[in-house]
Every structure is written in structure tokens, then in C-alpha cells.
Structure 1
Amino acid sequence: MVHGEDRLFREGARKGLTLAVLLSLVPLLGCEPKPHGPGGRSANLACPRPQAFLGAPEFNAQETEIRTLRRHAFAGDFFAQLDLGRRYSGRDAEQRKTYDPVEAAVWLELALSNPDGFSPTVTGPRRRHERGAQFEDCREAERRSAYFALEHLLGRMSSEERQQVRDRVIYVLSTQGASGFRTLARLHDVGFGPFGDPYDASPIDERDLRDRRPPAAATLFTRNDVDVYLFNYLAAQAGDVAGYVMLKDFERSSANRAALGADAEAKANRWVPPFEFYPPEAPESGVPHSDESVRASETETLALARLDELPFVHVGHALAYLQVIPKPADELSDLSVTEIQTFQAMLGRPMTGKLTSLEEVRAIQYAAVNGQARSQLALAVMYAEGVGVPRDYAKAFYWFSQADRQGSAEAKYAMSTFFSLGVEGVADQDKASAVVYQIDGALAGFKPSAQRLRELLAQVSRAPRT
């Protein structure tokens, strides 16, 4: 490769791998030979990759590469998702330490359902040497290879492991906003292929789909109209025109589907992702599965900016519960650099020794997920008030209910009073009202300490950190 092309690859990696960059490279490089493929002439083609993705023989190179791939993959990069799936598949000796079949299946499924992998780049009849035709050939080959790898992994998984794959895929797509919700809608829609792709572009042979025992990859997501409506509705709620059009087309396609509207909308208003953040587990390599989702909406930015209204003692109690520090800390200054780095390593984030606002939120989320009632209550209030996290009444209700199960009087009071009486005048009135009917009738006669709840709300939403 000449120097100019190498420079172009490095620049492309820095700016994010896009189809436009790769497409411009195909005439120069063509498709590279691939040692093993699923069969057929085009199966031996692999699309070119930026040199920066391939890493360098230096200390911690593997961890650096994985973090780079995860950052691009979370943002929807088709080729980064493919390569990440292969890394976790541990197909050669160098990658054995990163072997994690669940994580491999997650990224292979995301790559196969990524429209950048099957959307046509050439219209009309294709010529063999046409620029886009070469690119589409190698993408098709890559998808076929990924499908066979995914099928191999899923065929050896328990039902619990498959559920883990589904939950992680749903979480990643939900962090992508409207485009991710539209992908989830297609994954559940019988009108599309098993990966939300057109049937004529699916890597699964139609004869296999008609078989009495369809491939495991074709059954990972259950086809049903309610979820199609749900995810198209969530996309439309995010202000996405394409999601709105798909939703209306879906409604008009049959009377039965149109009748699902009320139930699906109520479900959408109560819907929460499977995780608060991506599970930071680690395979044998010790490199945690970091959450590289990027949420830069105005609402999320404003929520983080309000985090100084949250007394640090809540973060301190969460870190103590997670055994990062020996006892709860009242102030950020009470933490040592080593303790902060320990927590950052748990999250799979860069160990800077300086705790960011997002990492403070993560501490409370992490403790809540792991069962601390105090953090569950704090997180519920944060969602109800829009402090640190965007206001979300469905998530607030979920965490109030989790704290209630552990005997929190404040949580029980919030569910019986805060949601039913305290939502007047809020912008998300529909979402707030949608969760009210879940409240158990047995709560009606409960007499908790309203003052304690008011103090907690004031403590989080109105009292600046000192």
C-alpha cells in the first residue's frame, strides 16, 4: 500500500469508519482474499479495513484495539461490529483470551441486522467491475461468514445464554435512538428477513427458513406484531419521521394491527431497556465489556449538568456497597486516586483517577442493579426529577418498585401518591400516567412518612452540593 493510501486509512479510522470512506477505497484496493469462507466464489472476499483497526505490537495493544472497536461498534459501525464479534469468537490462538460466546453472538447479530451491511450501494443491473458491485460482493461474503459463525455459537447455547444475547442486543440498539428502535421493529416483523433485512438479501437460504427446524439465528427474536408496533412507536416518539411512516404503514396494513395501537402505546410508555448500562463483565482476558454508548442529546446533557444537585453522599454509599471504598464517603475529596481508578476499571472506563459526572451516575446505577435499596431509591428520584439522567417516569417507577420490594417506605409512598397525584403539569404526562395502573390496590391504605419522601426529593432535586 502506498503512503497516501495508508494515510487515508488512518484518517478514516480517526473520523469513524463509514461506508462512504470504504466505498471510495474499493476501486483502489478491491476486496482482499480471506483464508476461510462459508463457500462459494465470493465467500473468499473480505472488505478492506483501516490499518488503525489492526493494532500495533505494543503493551496493552489488545485492550486498546477492543476499546476502539467497541466505541465504533456502539455507534453502529458495521465493520467494527463484525470484527468485534470475531475477536470474542476466539477463532485463533491470539484471540483465545478474549473468547466469550455470548459477547461474540451479540456483535455478530448486531452486524447482521445493521442496514449498512445489506443496503444497496448500486441501483439497477450491476456490472462485475463496477465500483459499488465489488463492495456489495465483499459485504455479502462478510455477512455470510458472520451468519455461519453466529449459527455455530447459538447452536451451543442454553436458553439463558440466548436471552443474554437478546437483552444485550436490545440495549445496544436502544442507545442508538430512533434508528436502533427501527431495527428492533424490523427484527420482530415477519415482513423482513431474520436480521431485519430484505428476504432476498438474507444470508440464510430461503429453503432453510422453510424447514421444520429453522436455523437458531432465525429464531433469536420472536416475530410478533405487538413488538413491531412498540419499537416503531418508540422511534416515532423520538421524533423520527421514518419511524412515524413505518408505524402508520404498519397500522394500515391490517385491521388487526391497527387494533393493537392502544395496548402497544401503553407498553411503549412503560418500556425500559434491559440494562441501566452495558454489563461490565470480563472474559479471561480481563478486559471488561465497556459501555461505549454515546448519548449527547440536549436532555441528557442538561441532566448531567444538574448532577451537582445530588449530594455526593449517595455516590459515596454506592461505592461502599460495591466495596470500592471501606466506608461511605461524604465528599468526592474523600476518595483516593487508587479508589477512583479501581471503580473505573470495574466499569471498563479509562483509569484517569478523576471521577466524571457520568461515572458518579454509574456508581448509583451499579449499586442499584446489584441490589442496594438506598441506591435504587436515589436512582428512582433521579429519573423522576431529571437529575443526572433524563427524566423518565417508566424508569422511575421501575426503581421505586425495586426499592419497595426491599421495604422502603419512601418508595411505597411514591408509588401510591407521587405517581398518581404528583404528575400534574409535567411535560411527559402521558408517560407518567401510563404507569399508574400498575400500582397494587393494597397500597391505598398505606400511611408512610410523606415528610421523609419530600426531604429526599428536596435533597436530590433542589439542594445544591456543598
Structure 2
Amino acid sequence: MVPGSDRSLREGLRKGATLAGLLALLPLLGCDPGPKGPGGQAAGQSCPRPQTFLTTQAFNVQEQEIRALRRQAFAGDFFAQIDLARRYGGAEAEARKIHDPVEAAVWYQLALSNPDGFAPIVMAAQGQRPGRRLQDCREAERLGAYSALERLLERMSSEERQDVRDRVIYVLSTQGAPGFRTLARLHDVSFGPFGDPMESSPIDPRDLKRGRPPAAATLFTRNDVDVYLFNYLAAQSGDVAGFVMLKDFERSSTGRAALGADAQAKAKRWTPPFEFYPPQAPESGVPLSDESLRAGEAEAAALARVDELPFIHVGHALAYLRVTEKPALTKASLTATEIQAFQAMLGRPATGRLSSLEEVRAIQYAAVNGQARSQLTLAVMYSEGVGVPRDYARAFHWFSQADRQGNAEAKYAMSTFFSLGMEGVADQDKASAVVYQIDAALAGFKPSAQRLRELLAQVSRAPRT
């Protein structure tokens, strides 16, 4: 919350009310007292909020509650992030078959990095002490979260820690400028290990000075290039705060200002670690659903153009994923059972009706799992803004993935990126273009601008079958 803002306090209360509604208006009760953190300070009592534990072992109830928490957590709700982490890593997680240490660590890390957890809280009534009780309980929540995160990370391999880091980066990147600013703080030595003010960090400063600092303090590597990168990405979205942070960072030292060219080149090629959140599932079968879609103008406009994509591309993707035996030519030829099977793979509600977003997810899911055809299709979708907002860096990524599998059209598209240059792609080496054009010819595809235009028309502008 923004210090001194009554509106922010009301917004925080509104979020709590929304979560309460999603969880069947359960009574406001405190959770268990938090444990003592590694620094030795008592965590105290948790903040009051809807009690979210299960009252039944029924699968559908557990699924509904987790999805409700995930929607709130993806949107940046501090308490939902804490409670979701406890679900995946708590004492009863194994009994409910939702035990997932990586997922628990992701949401603890996101909660600890959430400004709503450490921003000063000001009461509305004049003359009252600043919301001491609420502030204290949030400090307790963060201290307990840090203690739990530290235990989880200490038991993880380097690969598991990388997975935690990648998922955190993905979730924050879906939040737009605020998420990019948080990522910048996570890499900035001027802030605490969670992107928080040093004085608000739940980690005891003495622990940071040890020869072996806490695992939670080393999850994100501090470096100026990534600070510049993420502030630059925030500023590029038109975010004033991101622009101010970027300029303050540049002015802080001549060395930092000199990083501009390299960091901006990296930003032009930057893509999130995932195409969408990995839809894995613990033993319970409740998938780790992606609740990240932002209902912005660009996203809405892109989804509105899905009908320009010939459905056969979705059909090929579903066949590749073994949802159907053969590619469906039209949406109407899919059965409700087939659609529900795919929705279950994504962790989406089983409506039996394929939505525009789910059509896009079919292409994305097949591309992520290695189908060259879907990789090429997704690349053109990003090039044209069909189904997904136009993003040339992501288009370049998927063209290159298809190219690695020997796709001839992708090889020529890559040569076009290299030789002509596209907004958001920094690699402009014309020598590489010549190599790609020769390679494409040898692969049986004659390079020509006309053929590329035909490809774009085929995938993104042809009438729907």
C-alpha cells in the first residue's frame, strides 16, 4: 500500500472481502501463531482474515478453494500468497496430497517480496497511532513466511531453486510494471533480500554477514544489469514509477549509467521463463493452474482476433497433445469429453466448451512440448498480434525454437529477422542472414519475401475453416 493513503487501506480491506466471498464467506478468524524466525524474534499472531482450511476432504471443494486462492495470489494479494504457500507446504499438505515444496517456496517468496506486506500502514482516524496492530501482525506473517521459506530452500537442489526463481519471475512479469519494479528491487543491493527496505527485512542483519548467508537471501543474485533491465521493462510500459526508478538508478553512479546499452539490448530480447505457468499437479490431481491473464486492452484485442487463426492449427496441437486421435478441422468436431480432458490438463474449469484463451493455450502447450508446427504458428501469432499481444521478442524466440527442429519456413523467417531487423529484436547480423537463407534453401524451402507473406496470411489472416 502507499503510505498515507486511506484509499489503499480501503483497497486492502476490499481485497480481503473479495477473498472472503470466494471462500464462501467463512468467518474472520486468526490463523495459527507464526513460528520463531532464524533471527530469534517471535513471530506473534497472524493477521485476521478468512479462515481457508478445508472442512471436507471432497476433491472438488479442495480444487475450488485452491483455484480461488490462486486467482487472488496471481493478482498480488499478500494474504492469499501466504495462505497458498501454507496449503502446498503446511503440515496437512501430505495428507491432502497437495504437498509441493517448490510451489510453497514460490508463494512464500512472492509474499515476502509483496510491498503490501512491508509498506507502512496509516489509520484513517486522525491522532491515532499508525496501525500498529495491523503492522505488527504483518511483520509476524512475514517472519513466519521467511522461516518456512528458509526451511524449504535448505532442502532443495540447485535445479529446484532455479525452478522457484523462474516461477517467481514469471508471476511477477504477468503483473506488468509493478512486477518488473519488484524484480528490479530483488536484484538491487540497495534493498533487502526480498526487495524490501533494509529496516523492514525479516532477516536479521547479523545473519546476512555470516560466511554462509541464509538460502532465502541468495535466491536472487544481486547485479546491476538485471536492476537496469527490469526497471527499463517497467518504464517501457509507460509506467512513471519505473521511469523514475530507472533514472535514479542511472544517476546513482557513472558505472550504472554505462550499463544502459547492454541492459537495453538484453531487454529487447527478454522473454519470461515460461510461456504460461507449468500446469503440473501434485498427487491430488489439482493442477497448478495459470491465473495470470491480464484483462488489458492489448490482451482483449489479441483474443478477439483468434477467429483469424485457421482452426486446423488448434486441431494439430490437440492431436499432438493426444487429446484427440487426429487433427480436428473445426471446433464443432470436438466432443465435450475431449474439451474437458484438455481443460483438465490446463487446470481450467471443465465447461466442455473451448474458449478463445484455451485455443491459444492449445498452441502454446504444444509449442512448449516440442511440436515444431505449433512453435511456428505461435511465432507468427506473436508477430501479428493474433490471440496474444504482438511481441517480436517472443516471436523471435519461437521462430528460433522451430528453426532448431529444421522447420524450413522458420529458417527463412529467422533470416528475415536477422537481415531486416524487427522491433524488439537486437540481433541484426546480416552475415547470419546469408547463412540462414542458404540453410533454408538446402532444407527444401526457397527463400522469398512473397513466401513469407503467404505464410503470415495462411496462419493469421485466412478465413476460419
TM-score normalised by structure 1 residue count: 0.88
Q: CA deviation at 1:454?
A: 2.9
Query: Hey, what does 1:22 align to over in structure 2?
Result: none
Q: CA deviation at 1:299?
A: 1.1
Residue by residue over 1:287-314, the C-alpha shift from the partner in whole angstroms, topping out at 9 and shown as x without a partner, is 0000001311111111111111100000
Query: Hey, what does 2:436 align to over in structure 1?
Result: 443
The amino acid of 2:432's aligned partner reads D
Residues 1:417 and 1:12: Cα distance change in structure 2 (over 3 Å): closer
Query: Quick check: 1:88–1:95 contact (8 Å CA) kept in 2?
Result: no
Q: CA deviation at 1:58?
A: 7.4
> Is residue 2:32 matched to residue 1:34?
yes
Query: Quick check: 2:120–2:135 contact (8 Å CA) kept in 1?
Result: yes
Q: Counterparts in 2 of 1:3-402, with a 5 A limit? A: 13=16, 15-16=18-19, 32=30, 34-38=32-36, 43-51=43-51, 53-54=52-53, 56-57=55-56, 59=58, 60-92=60-92, 96-122=96-122, 130=129, 132-402=131-401
Separation (CA, whole Å) in 2 of partners of 1:439 and 1:365: 31
3-state SS, counterpart of residue 76 of structure 1: coil
Percent of aligned pairs sharing the same letter: 71
3-state SS, counterpart of residue 45 of structure 1: coil
Query: Quick check: 2:30–2:49 contact (8 Å CA) kept in 1?
Result: no
Separation (CA, whole Å) in 2 of partners of 1:35 and 1:15: 24
Query: Quick check: 1:381–1:460 contact (8 Å CA) kept in 2?
Result: yes
Separation (CA, whole Å) in 2 of partners of 1:92 and 1:464: 52
> Is residue 2:403 matched to residue 1:404?
yes
Q: CA deviation at 1:37?
A: 1.6
Q: Which runs of 5 or more residues in structure 2 are unaligned?
A: 1-11, 22-26
Q: CA deviation at 1:463?
A: 1.4
Q: CA deviation at 1:443?
A: 1.8
Query: Hey, what does 1:420 align to over in structure 2?
Result: 419
3-state SS, counterpart of residue 213 of structure 1: coil
Residue by residue over 1:92-142, the C-alpha shift from the partner in whole angstroms, topping out at 9 and shown as x without a partner, is 36755110010000000000000000001149xxx9x94610001110011
CA RMSD of aligned residues (A): 2.5
Q: Which runs of 5 or more residues in structure 1 are unaligned?
A: 1-8, 19-27, 424-428
Q: CA deviation at 1:419?
A: 5.1
Q: CA deviation at 1:91?
A: 1.6
Residues 1:41 and 1:245: Cα distance change in structure 2 (over 3 Å): closer
More helix by share: 1
Separation (CA, whole Å) in 2 of partners of 1:10 and 1:147: 24
Query: Quick check: 2:33–2:43 contact (8 Å CA) kept in 1?
Result: no
Q: CA deviation at 1:160?
A: 0.4
TM-score normalised by structure 2 residue count: 0.88
Q: CA deviation at 1:12?
A: 5.6
Separation (CA, whole Å) in 1 of partners of 2:348 and 2:427: 34
Separation (CA, whole Å) in 2 of partners of 1:86 and 1:10: 21
- How many residues align structurally? 436
Residues 1:48 and 1:439: Cα distance change in structure 2 (over 3 Å): farther
Residues 1:225 and 1:95: Cα distance change in structure 2 (over 3 Å): farther
Separation (CA, whole Å) in 2 of partners of 1:95 and 1:133: 37
Query: Quick check: 1:42–1:137 contact (8 Å CA) kept in 2?
Result: no
The amino acid of 1:90's aligned partner reads G
The amino acid of 1:101's aligned partner reads P
Q: CA deviation at 1:11?
A: 7.8
Residues 1:404 and 1:345: Cα distance change in structure 2 (over 3 Å): same
